[in-house]
Amino acid sequence: MILIDPPYWPAHGTVFSHLVSDKSLTELHDFAAAAGLRKRAFDLDHYDVPERLYHRLIVAGAAPVSGKDLVRALTASGLRVKARHRGKSTVKALSYRWNTVMPGHPEVGAGLLERWNEPHRNYHSAVHLLAVLEALDLLTDVGAPREVTLAAWFHDAVYDGVAGSDEEKSAFLAQSQLFGLVSAVEAAEVARLVRLTATHSPSPTDLGGALLCDGDLSILGSSPADYARYVAGVRADYAHVSTPNFARGRAAVLHSLLAIDPLFHTNRGRELWAENAKVNITNELVQLD
């Protein structure tokens, strides 16, 4: 069901409502598209709706509820995004993490955050970066090696939606940005790890590669709600691709992921995400079919 709360939140000379789904982001995006809402009005788990559209959306099928009931329904659905993954909170958390791993070079971290917050990004955004870094925390007891953490920061720093090219450009950016800040050996290792995210196939003895690849793919083993948000974000990243072409390309990607054996290369990664990942990927393939 699509829900909308009363116009209350002030911004830009008017007041806004929140439009949510208590079922799925796909349902929410489909309703919003049919209603003519702009994609930029979407904010992670809801659409911001100006007061002038409130009654029109109710006529279109949105159920009016109180603000408290809307939050309860969104939370119960599992679609509500945690506060630390929102806007300023994400930037604050990432800035702290950058200054921890590379103290004394805040300008480099700020430049990377600008890239991760580019307006054309949906899934491949700063939220994804924070999720990968948090996944690395789960995979290690004493913290990931610095080169792995830096590779996470750079792995999608260039994102044009071109597989292979994005990774190569991101690797080149890593070496150029890290020149003089770390040793040449470490910079080369960061670039190597970034390139590895094009295939997610590290060798059996490549611990750094295993950590980065598992962290990058951890979303595949997430909860159904988080996985649905990931799928919606990927679709938004490729909004310029027709639905039939996207379905064919996405299915090919999913089949290639299922063919990676093992999909997760660390013991802890397999414990945390392997079972859910197989279920999530299989269910998405069924939906695509």
Classify residue 62 by its DSSP letter. Answer: P
Q: Kindly report the CATH number assigned to the domain that includes residue 260.
A: 1.10.3210.10
Same domain, 54 and 90: no
pLDDT given at position 34: 94
pLDDT given at position 173: 98
Same domain, 168 and 37: no
- Spatial neighbors of 161 by CB under 8 A, at least 6 apart, are 237, 238
| 26: pLDDT strictly greater than 70 | yes
- Averaged pLDDT for residues 247-264: 93
Q: How far apart are CA 233 and CA 222, in angstroms?
A: 14
pLDDT cut 90: percent of the chain above it? 71
Same domain, 99 and 232: yes
- Averaged pLDDT for residues 35-45: 87
What is the average pLDDT score of the chain?
92
| 85: pLDDT strictly greater than 70 | no
Same domain, 135 and 269: yes
In the chain, the number of structural domains is 2
Same domain, 129 and 243: yes
Same domain, 130 and 73: no
Q: Are 89 and 130 contacting, i.e. CB atoms less than 8 angstroms apart? A: no
Same domain, 66 and 95: no
273 to 135, 222, 223, 278: CA distances (angstroms) = 10, 7, 10, 9
- At 122-180, the pLDDT tens digits run 889 999 999 999 999 999 987 899 999 999 999 999 998 887 899 999 999 999 999 99
Q: Which of 32, 59, 80 is the last residue of a domain?
A: 80
Q: Which of 46, 80, 114 is the last residue of a domain?
A: 80
- Averaged pLDDT for residues 19-24: 92
pLDDT given at position 8: 87
Backbone angles phi, psi at 64, to 5 degrees: -75, 130
Give 172-177's long-range contacts (Cβ < 8 A, gap of 24+): 174/150, 177/108, 177/111, 177/112
pLDDT given at position 39: 82
Same domain, 52 and 150: no
Q: Read off the pTM.
A: 0.75
- Spatial neighbors of 275 by CB under 8 A, at least 6 apart, are 221
Q: What domain range includes position 59?
A: 2-80
Same domain, 259 and 168: yes
- Spatial neighbors of 200 by CB under 8 A, at least 6 apart, are 213, 216, 217, 260
Same domain, 37 and 56: yes
Same domain, 270 and 237: yes
- Higher per-residue pLDDT: 190 or 289: 190
Of the candidates 244, 249, 235, which has an alpha carbon nearest to the alpha carbon of residue 163? Answer: 249
Q: State the residue for tokens 């809402």.
A: 37
pLDDT given at position 84: 58
| 86: pLDDT strictly greater than 70 | no
pLDDT given at position 71: 86
- Higher per-residue pLDDT: 236 or 155: 155
Same domain, 102 and 64: no
Range with the lowest mean pLDDT among 9-18, 108-117, 141-150? 9-18
Confidence of residue 83 (pLDDT cuts 50, 70, 90): low
pLDDT given at position 88: 66
Helix 126-139 × helix 106-116 angle, to 10°: 120
Q: Which of 20, 55, 80 is the last residue of a domain?
A: 80
pLDDT given at position 237: 87
